[in-house]
Amino acid sequence: MKKYFLCLLFSLQLLSVQSQTVFVPLHMRTDLLLHENKVWKDPSTVIIHSKKPSFSWQTDTSVKQVTAYTILVASSPTLLENGKADYWDSKKIISNQTHTTYKGKALEPSKKYYWKVQVWNEKGKPSYFSETVSFQLSDLSTLDTISHYPLTYDLQSPVTISPPKPGYYFFDFGKDAFSQLQLHLNASKDDTVTIEAGETSQKEYIVYNNPSRNIRYIKIELPVKKGEHDYAITWPVDAKRNSRNPIQMPEEIGEVFPFRYVSAKMLSGNSDYLYVTRRAVHYPFDEYASSFQSSNSVLNEVWDLCKYSVKATSFSGFYLDGDRERLPYEADAVINQLSHYASDAEYSIARRTLAYLIYHPTWPTEWTLQISILAWNDYMYTGDDTFLKKYYEEIKAKTLLQLADDNRLISTINGKQKDAFIQSLHNKLIFDGKRGLVDIVDWPQSGVTGTEKEYGGETDGFVFTKYNAVVNAYYYNALGLMQKMAAALNKDKDAAMFAEKAKQVFNAYQTVFVDPVNGLVKDGDQTNHSSLHGNMFALDFGLIPEKNVPAVTAFIKSRRMACSVYGSQFLLDGLFDHGEDEYALSLMSATTQRSWYNMIRTGSTITLEAWDKMYKPNLDLNHAWGSAPANLIIRKMMGVEPLTPGFETIKIKPGIGNLSFAKMRTSTLKGEVAISFQKNKEIENWDITVPGAATANVYLPSHAKDEKIFIDGKQISLQKQKGFWVIEKLPSGTHTIQIK
């Protein structure tokens, strides 16, 4: 017995040592697609559309840095089990990356492949090999598309069922969703059931029949047979929408309709039993990839609304403008992309939408200039330059260099929108009788004023002139992003050219648009009017000299929320970046009519196309371009953004305003970033988790001269930078930081 216990003790000691040194790569992805239960037919295999796919993986927080890796790709799992690779054996590659691109033998269409990876940590110790995962190259006909998951669905039962009246049933599913409807009915005889489905309801359990078209409602007469049967509702084709060439639902899924409420009425009033379920269709979405909670209850509700909006509106596999048109728009896509990144570590739907928009652009000038934003976000969040390399020239064309005049600024009414230019953008749309680009600033451009703003529409009375301050702010931003993209691809001549042009535009902007007396940005070259938009876009895109920032931020605050739900993204971005986090938080948690809480108050469970129906009578109740707080809470309020591509280095710069408590989780390609904040009169406590093989530069606000900083219990001497304590290269793991 004594010998047994000695052996057991030795085994436990050995296990303890191994647990400290043994690690294994996790969360394998092929072409950014995660190998988990995210597909219908075969959860172990993903279908990819690239002959040279990317491979990526994560490590646990015990790994401070990856110093090398080996990837094996084979045609069978048996080969990999024996340490053999008939397609690619990368050998040991010295690198700190946790992603790479396939460099083996040519892959064959419709064939299944298997891969695994081994890494070395900062001490030069190797991991075990990862689990073996598989992927299949699609057939040749789809190799030009972006790798993506098939759509999936949640099978849902009603949250509440009203007490039935004779032959009448009313069901509430709790939230709006793009869904399909199924019935289980036991009818006493052949009969007809009148089905009504919609997004809102009226009193006494009636689905709201909306005569002004903005709220979805449908009525269907369904013949039923005597006895107990299952029925699936087939939604009718929307001919008006189809005339606009929208994104169509895949045949294997079928049509969907957005609804929360369902009523059913039997013609004869006789039935023994009726029950409904719905299939809520969406792109695969990890509910546990992110979370947020704070001391502000309104902000918590706004987060939930916006996060759910990202999932619910992903029903087609593209970012769309809502149910009315079901078309991708660049401006919608930027907000949707960032909110999706914050809510779930999912990148393929954004990349797929961007590829679509390059060849199917929309008409607003500013929308075209947002292609560079989409492309740069993709690169920074994935660390994968494949997309940039493939579409570089197309992205470059979307900077609108050809519209520049001698004064370095661009204009859409200077006669330079020739056929060749329009064709280079792949622009085929006609708006207001014009072919080519039209300045928009914000949308809608006309409408009611209300008690919370001065001008009708959502442009804050913007005065359109030949040279538009908002358009040229976007132009300056696009040039700067193109300079970064060119540098990332080692296109040095292009990088230098874009840097020089950006400098020229900055100087021209100050001359043409900035009022020398008050420092505010004027709307255009032929007006003295200053709007919220002219100033907030200039602030967000770095066009305001430091000396003018106080005047500009004061003016912006005086205009309140005089922009649309789309404009709020850029308004709040600029405010957070310039130390106005308390005011920015007050806007996100406001309960006024022009607020996200108003969307909740009106009964919507998905963000609206506008602040309220009164500002846009035909608005959609399912528009993810209203979801800005989903990304702003993570990126700006909690401050988590990629400082280098792929989150190799993470920027954590919170702007928590007057909150006393906040905590969040967000997922990246490196792993989970978590932050918990608590403060009282004597101490601020921050718990920060940095994922494996990553570091973080942390900026925590300083409030007093005599503060002391403790990291993991040890007092640290730090330097302040512009009112922040700066902790550089915080390693992976969970750290407690206290400010006393």
The three state secondary structure string of 43-69 is CCEEEECCCCCEEEEECCCCCCCCCEE
Is pLDDT above 70 for 37?
no
Is the separation of the CB atoms in 609 and 683 below 8 Å? no
Mean pLDDT of the chain: 92
Is pLDDT above 50 for 3?
no
Q: Same domain for 126 and 205? A: no
CATH number at residue 396: 1.50.10.10
CATH number at residue 735: 2.60.420.10
Q: Same domain for 173 and 258? A: yes
- In the chain, % of residues over pLDDT 70: 94
Is pLDDT above 70 for 212?
no
Cα distance between residue 389 and residue 485, in whole Å = 9
Q: Same domain for 450 and 568? A: yes
Distances (CA, A) of 170 to 33, 160, 177, 279, 662: 40, 9, 17, 18, 39
In sequence order, what are the beta bridge partners of 464?
Answer: none
Whether 657 maps to a domain, the answer reads yes
Domain count, the chain: 4
Local confidence band at 431 (pLDDT 50, 70, 90 cut-offs): low
Local confidence band at 269 (pLDDT 50, 70, 90 cut-offs): low
Q: Same domain for 210 and 67? A: no
Is pLDDT above 60 for 281?
yes
pLDDT at 563 (0 to 100): 98
Three-state DSSP at 227 gives: strand
Cα distance between residue 520 and residue 529, in whole Å = 10
Q: Same domain for 421 and 539? A: yes
Is the separation of the CB atoms in 483 and 396 below 8 Å? no
Whether 644 maps to a domain, the answer reads no
pLDDT at 187 (0 to 100): 87
Is pLDDT above 80 for 300?
yes
Three-state DSSP at 71 gives: strand
Whether 642 maps to a domain, the answer reads no
Whether 147 maps to a domain, the answer reads no
**Number of neighbours of residue 446 by Cβ within 10 angstroms:** 10
Q: How many residues does the chain have?
A: 740
CA 295 to chain centre: 25
Domain that includes residue 449, residue range? 287-637
pLDDT at 204 (0 to 100): 72
Query: What contacts 24+ positions apart, CB below 8 Å, involve 101-104?
Result: 101/52, 101/53, 101/54, 101/55, 101/384, 101/386, 102/52, 102/53, 102/54, 102/55, 102/73, 103/52, 104/73
Is pLDDT above 70 for 622?
yes
pLDDT at 107 (0 to 100): 95
Nearest to 123 by CA among 58, 169, 63, 183: 63
Whether 292 maps to a domain, the answer reads yes
Helix (H) or strand (E) holding 477: helix 469-488
The per-residue DSSP string of 623-667 comes to -GGG-HHHHHIIIIIS-EEESSGGGSEEEE----TT-SEEEEEEE
Is pLDDT above 70 for 9?
no
- Two structure tokens written together for 574: 């600029």
Backbone angles phi and psi of 556, in degrees to 5: -55, -45
Helix (H) or strand (E) holding 195: strand 191-198
Q: What is the pLDDT of residues 641-673, one digit of tens each?
A: 999 999 999 999 999 999 999 999 999 999 999
Whether 643 maps to a domain, the answer reads no
Is pLDDT above 60 for 18?
no
CATH number at residue 134: 2.60.40.10
Q: Comparing 457-461, 694-698, 700-704, which segment has the lowest mean pLDDT?
A: 700-704
Q: Same domain for 222 and 301? A: no
Backbone angles phi and psi of 696, in degrees to 5: -130, 140
pLDDT at 270 (0 to 100): 67
How large is the average pLDDT for residues 243-259?
Answer: 94
